[in-house]
Structure 1
């Protein structure tokens, strides 16, 4: 009887947890009610007054927003500008997730690129400081509202945490080995799910807290030319493009010329071999001897 009772409790907890984890559609209507529903301030009640694991601060209007963007700039020294931009970002409390530096060479101009993580609340001020390091070519940003995702994750984490706590209490009251194994199996499964959801929530919180900006620096020579704005400007641009195309065509022909000569020699040799083979295969003429005179 005790084993049946423990199994019934475990199954009940499983049904409660799976119901919370699979109710994504219910969260779209203002959040999932867990242990008393939503808190008075509009957030998800954590049940028992405990804070939600991995909860990120909301924006000023109560939304969680992931901001990404791209900033292209021209600087006389792109490598030095990248170092200075790194200092500005770190001083603002941000960090770099990646950096690329390409010094000037015979085949390319100097350039650099940063993958910057900037605190969202200081994004505008930090970009203003970075823009002072050169001339802005282009700037674009986009925002993705993930409030529903964070609300759903918070509710599922809270529900799983309550389930884990109850299972831990049941371990102490288990009287048989079968009861203990059943409870520990259910507990291990829920702890694994809880860790996975917490990792997802922490990653999403980091994306909300820190905007991701790709910052590229090039030299004035490496920057793209401005498009023409009048007829004669378009004529000059077209003529320059024609000359550039002809120059690259001549370079391509020069690079391919040795190969063309080599292929021509191979073709001539193959043709000579074919002619010799055909000549050898021709039947030799037979000489008929005249009949002897009688």
Structure 2
């Protein structure tokens, strides 16, 4: 039997072993403690049955002879759980609140994964006796900030409690997804591929000609790429378990509502509106002045052209009348 034939047999046996190992681990996982899921699917890591044959290279290559490092078994209650939390806050200054949230995350050993800001237009006018500010037309400050934080799972509860103290909590959602089945499936597939690579390297060492050597190297390259892809998925899954994702949305306080307004409050608000109207008037005049200058220039040009024409017309009319008389 040639080396190429042995390689084909070894490859077929490896694929069969990977499939059986994945099925066995999945069956044991289902019989032991069925996984439960809740929340967003964006934080879930799913491994398809054909992941071992995808041939994708993800992450740096690792030496298969060193064995497979076990996944960390972190998460709430010591289970392999991916946790995601959403918190919606309202506050007078969303930017300042978002900065405080980022500081809380970094102090807890986490980091800010993403941040976005948006502005709604308007000039903020403070009104006495009114909760919040009133927005009038024009460009205004940032009124919405969204940031995603990554926090070590063991410190997530404390961070969530601290974040809720930053403003008024308008909504709060929490989800957990058990990824123990994916974890077991990945571990089984990686173990099978590691054994397959060891066998293929033994065949490579026994190659007696260039054709057999090239065939062995091609098979090893394919298996190594598959192993690297699975290890990258395993590392990503571990990071999702170890670091809880917390999304914080901070919205500016809505337009103020009356809160036991009195005559004095109305009088103060009236004076404030006069000042605001004066500011808007000044801005409007500043906007119109350049146009007035342009109109004056155009009017001067028109007069410079029109006046000589009128004078010439009058002079011709006067000379014609004197000739006729």
Q: Is 2:18 aligned against 1:21?
A: yes
- The higher-RCO structure (CA 8 Å, 6+ apart) is 2
Deviations 1:160-186 (A, max 9, x none): 112112222332221111210221111
Within the candidate set 107, 115, 119, 2:148 is matched to: 115
Q: How far off its partner does 1:25 sit?
A: 3.1
Within the candidate set 77, 87, 97, 1:71 is matched to: 87
Q: For structure 2, which runs of at least 5 residues remain unmatched after alignment?
A: 30-63, 123-136, 258-325
Would you say the 8 A contact 2:146–2:247 is kept in 1? yes
2:28 is paired with a residue of what secondary structure?
coil
Q: How does 1:111-260 map to 2 (within 5 A)?
A: 111-221=144-254
CA 222–66 in structure 1, closer or farther in 2 if over 3 Å, else same: farther
Give the distance between the partners of 2:77 and 2:95, measured in 1 at CA.
39
Would you say the 8 A contact 2:75–2:82 is kept in 1? no
2:284 matched to which residue of 1? none
CA 178–222 in structure 1, closer or farther in 2 if over 3 Å, else same: farther
- Moved beyond 6 Å, runs of 4+: none
Would you say the 8 A contact 1:101–1:111 is kept in 2? yes
Give the distance between the partners of 1:110 and 1:183, measured in 2 at CA.
62
Would you say the 8 A contact 1:53–1:157 is kept in 2? no
Q: For structure 1, which runs of at least 5 residues remain unmatched after alignment?
A: 32-47, 226-294
Q: Is 2:71 aligned against 1:55?
A: yes
Instruction: Identify which range, 181-190 or 52-61, moves more after superposition.
Output: 52-61
Q: How far off its partner does 1:62 sit?
A: 5.0
Would you say the 8 A contact 1:54–1:201 is kept in 2? no
Within the candidate set 85, 93, 99, 1:83 is matched to: 99
Q: How far off its partner does 1:104 sit?
A: 5.8
Would you say the 8 A contact 1:64–1:147 is kept in 2? yes
Give the distance between the partners of 2:23 and 2:168, measured in 1 at CA.
47
Give the distance between the partners of 1:105 and 1:215, measured in 2 at CA.
22
TM-score by length of 2: 0.57
Give the distance between the partners of 1:49 and 1:185, measured in 2 at CA.
18
Q: Is 2:98 aligned against 1:100?
A: no
Instruction: Identify which range, 154-163 or 213-222, moves more after superposition.
Output: 213-222
Q: How far off its partner does 1:7 sit?
A: 3.0
Q: How far off its partner does 1:151 sit?
A: 0.6
Deviations 1:49-100 (A, max 9, x none): 9552472334465531111121001222110110110011111121222101
TM-score by length of 1: 0.63
Give the distance between the partners of 1:88 and 1:60, measured in 2 at CA.
20
CA 204–20 in structure 1, closer or farther in 2 if over 3 Å, else same: farther
1:69 is paired with a residue of what secondary structure?
strand
Would you say the 8 A contact 1:54–1:198 is kept in 2? no
CA 12–60 in structure 1, closer or farther in 2 if over 3 Å, else same: farther
1:285 matched to which residue of 2? none
Would you say the 8 A contact 1:54–1:202 is kept in 2? no
Q: How far off its partner does 1:112 sit?
A: 0.7
